[in-house]
Structure 1
């Protein structure tokens, strides 16, 4: 199991905790801080899916006038993990 606790940058959430299994499937995902309902939704949609697919889908999403977002930070974290 590949595990990462990723400190976010430029978002309301402060930390993303991710577990990806040997097959590249996201098994556990949680955010600390941020918009609770939206982030629970992202987690529900991402768990059980390939990390590479989630990274490719979420990369580049912005939030308001920010250059990043919680989904974009998740993509960055997955990229850091090698997906």
Structure 2
């Protein structure tokens, strides 16, 4: 299992941390942002694959920003998976 820290862009959280075991995501945590909503996202995605997270969350926009916390998570786990190859 590899640990990753991703610096999101255009959203409130300053960091998204997670572990990858192959293409499966574990232990997601956000630093900053809306604590309750981000805890919920972290629980929902536990054990999902990168493809599943992208399928559910990629492209979601928050208040017209063109991205969101969940979209940034999808981008971060994809980037981590690609860098781990």
Scaled by the length of structure 1, what TM-score is found?
Answer: 0.90
Larger relative helix fraction: 2
Q: Distance in 2 between matches of 1:61 and 1:55?
A: 10
Counterpart secondary structure, 2:59? coil
**Contact 2:20–2:81 (Cα < 8 Å) also in 1:** no
Q: CA deviation at 1:26?
A: 1.3
**Contact 2:10–2:67 (Cα < 8 Å) also in 1:** yes
**Contact 2:61–2:71 (Cα < 8 Å) also in 1:** yes
- The aligned counterpart of 1:13 is 13
Q: Distance in 1 between matches of 2:16 and 2:2?
A: 14
RMSD: 1.2
Query: Which sections of structure 1, spanning at least 5 residues, go unmatched?
Result: none
Scaled by the length of structure 2, what TM-score is found?
Answer: 0.88
Q: Distance in 1 between matches of 2:26 and 2:73?
A: 14
After TM superposition, what 4+ stretches of structure 1 lie above 3 angstroms from structure 2? none
Q: How many residues align?
A: 82
Q: CA deviation at 1:82?
A: 2.6
Query: Which sections of structure 2, spanning at least 5 residues, go unmatched?
Result: none
